[in-house]
Amino acid sequence: MDHTTTTTNSNPFKGFTKISDQIYIHHSDRNDSTAAKGGDDESSPDIIIIYGWGDGRPRNVSKYIEGYQALFPRATIIAVLATTFKAAYQPLHERTEGMMPVIDAAFSDKDQTQQKKPPRVLLHAMSNAGGINLASTLNAHLARYGTPLPHRVMVLDSVPGGVVFHQQVGRWSRAMAIGMSRSLPRWVPQAMLQAVFYVFLWVHKLWEFILRRHHAGAWSREAVNRHEMVPVPALAAKDSKIGDEYHGPRRLYMYSKEDDIIGWEDIEEHVEHASKLGYHADKVLFEGSGHVDHMRHHPQKYWESIAITWRKAHGAVRPV
């Protein structure tokens, strides 16, 4: 099945091509004079994949696209939109199939079969819905090629959250209510929506228990720490065809204690676990910014942190 066919519906991202109902791509003109100012072509990302948060509006996700276009103007950018309900409650095979257009757009069968150097890829996920779509993309690459998705950096903004249901159900119902309220009349109380989703989540939890189905958020939290999905940096660098400058995949966690959707303790627990498994993990704690709101409140610190982690992945900055 060809996933790269352009659809004809309206496009919310200027200059992007729509390749599915939630995935868009923009190919940078590397000969353009603006892109030529972007620095060394051999050290910048070839492809940046941005996974928006649940029910995130395109105009808000565009702010991150603009930030990356300023930071790495040579890169091709793939934007993946998300709905909270679809990300959380589709079965794994449907989520994986939904991300196959990303694999088709970023990696060609020819490049894989001829053992060429893979593109330099930066992954950026926001909130649980973005993290679920990112993990589903990792699974799609594994299903298509039988190998981990090659990438240099994984940015995790306000993700991953916790997995203990009774501790998280209030946060999840609030997130779903916030997303749904944007498409309903203003007179519909958000508190009422949260109560409805709270009950729904408990019913769905019972259904998952009966079917022995793994919750999407819990699955994605574990998936990014699985070696078959994301290889440990030491092994990735040893087996890589990229060259001596590659130090294996690196990740950056960005979070705050003011986030009322994703607990900072859950993120720090994931950082600690990833580090024990052998992953290179940086973390940046922001002050005064809420859920997926760190870039808006601290733009300089936000983009500098990403740039530093990218350079660390290439040995330009000595990892600590």
Nearest to 159 by CA among 78, 51, 39: 51
CA nearest 131: which of 56, 205, 73, 195?
56
Overall pTM > 0.85: no
Q: Which residue spans within the chain are E strands per DSSP?
A: 17-18, 23-26, 47-54, 76-82, 121-126, 153-157, 250-256, 280-286
Peptide bond into 160 cis (omega under 30): yes
**What CATH number does the domain located at 17-161+216-313 have?**
3.40.50.1820
Higher pLDDT, 32 or 21: 21
In the chain, pLDDT over 70 holds for what percent of residues? 80
Domain boundaries, the chain: 17-161+216-313, 164-214
Both tokens assigned to 256: 């705050």
Residue linked to tokens 């909130």: 127
Task: Return the H-helix or E-strand segment holding 208.
Answer: helix 190-211
* Of 73-77, 213-217, 279-283, the least confident: 213-217
Q: Name the residue with higher pLDDT: 131 or 204.
A: 131
Counts for the chain of helices (H) and strands (E), in that order: 13, 8
Burial 18-38 (b: 16+ CB within 10 A, else e): bbbebbbbbebeeeeeebeeb
